[in-house]
Amino acid sequence: MAGKKPCVIGILTGGGDVPGLNPAIRAVTIRALREGYQVIGLRRGWGGLVDIIRDKDADNSNNYMILTEEVVNRAGRTGGTFLHTSRTNATRVKRESVPLHLRERYSEDVNDLTEEVLKNLDFLGIDYLVPIGGDDTLSYAVRLYQEGFKVVAIPKTMDNDVPGTDYCIGFSTCVTRTISLTNNLRTIGGSHERIMVLEVFGRYAGFTAMLPTMAGAANRCVIPEHKFSIDRLTELLVEDRNHNPSKYSIVLVSEGAKFEGGEMVFEGGATDAFGHAKLGGIGDLVSAELQQRSAEYNHGVTINIINQKLGYMVRGGDPDAVDSVVPMAFGNLALDLLLKGIHGRLVVLKNGRYDDMPLDVVTGPKKMVHVKEFYNTDRYRPNYESFEMKPLFIMTS
């Protein structure tokens, strides 16, 4: 019908930034515009939707923008997210974080602003929502879908631990960067004949430590799924070092790894909007313990340690090839579903094929490394056997 208002798609990115988000935004936008949709980019994840002021004369430029081919093409090859991001959980907004214009109505210590989010979506005229994020960001997408809003989601996280999909945007670049940075540090390890402890991402799942180790970047890795003995780890790393002509060895330590008899190591007591305390410090503790124990396994001679947290260095910069291609496919998959009138789905890669799953799969059991199949709990390294018919990234589910 002439003059009919086009359907409007809203896109947002939440949680940690990763390379591949901008290509995903570009893919959704280009396809949507060519199918006759209008596209609104929501800034700062769920934060932008919480902060909207429902007044046509209000300045909401900090909360959303109209997306065009020119805008997304300019950003589409770059890392990060030009829509910005936050860890806002609209079901648990602390009183001091409630927008000023809503504080009279919401004055509890913790407030559920879902009613406001739904009204804001209506105010913006958004018909469909495409959130891109990890299981925290997407768990709120499930809530909106349960409230009746039309959602198709795209999985993103360096940890590669969103349930239901073998692959999440950002994982390949993380592995690529980890291998590259570890190889750069070898010259230092060899020059000083040290043991290198590199802390990598991985709160609950050890994929980001396992894959680089399998690729030969490190001798050993310790992961969240299996508590490790520091004495056994010291013994192995000293042995690795002394058998290496350049006299160094390397261990990748997942940020969520735990000592035998211990728990995760946190930077402090503060938690984010999803209840997660900030991890940090396990690499420091492992380094200190390794140095203290090293002489016992090295004929009485202490071995010095190189301790480096790779952290943000693996999530910066442009996406690699996989994180340029997969987001394009995920974005088009999302549009295919919306064009068919299908929603409440998560686009996925499963057994090497693109597909989709019910959205609420993201609230199911955590996706973690299958220790018995993939991890040698005595040698603290991946199992290297029987790759036949395994998916591209081997241990993805």
Is position 159 annotated as part of the catalytic site? yes
Exposure string over 256-278, b if 16+ CB within 10 A, otherwise e: bbbbeeeebbbeeeeeebbeeee
Other beta carbons within 10 Å of 385: 8
Distance of CA 138 to the CA centre of its chain: 12
Q: How far apart are CA 87 and CA 350, in angstroms?
A: 27
**How big is the chain, counted in residues?**
397
Which one of the listed residues 17, 51, 135, 159 is annotated catalytic?
159
Tokens of 388: 């036949």
Q: How far apart are CA 182 and CA 32, in angstroms?
A: 40
Q: How far apart are CA 111 and CA 14, in angstroms?
A: 19
Are 183 and 217 in contact by the 8 Å Cβ rule? The answer is: yes
Tokens of 319: 């996406």
| Residues belonging to the active site | 159
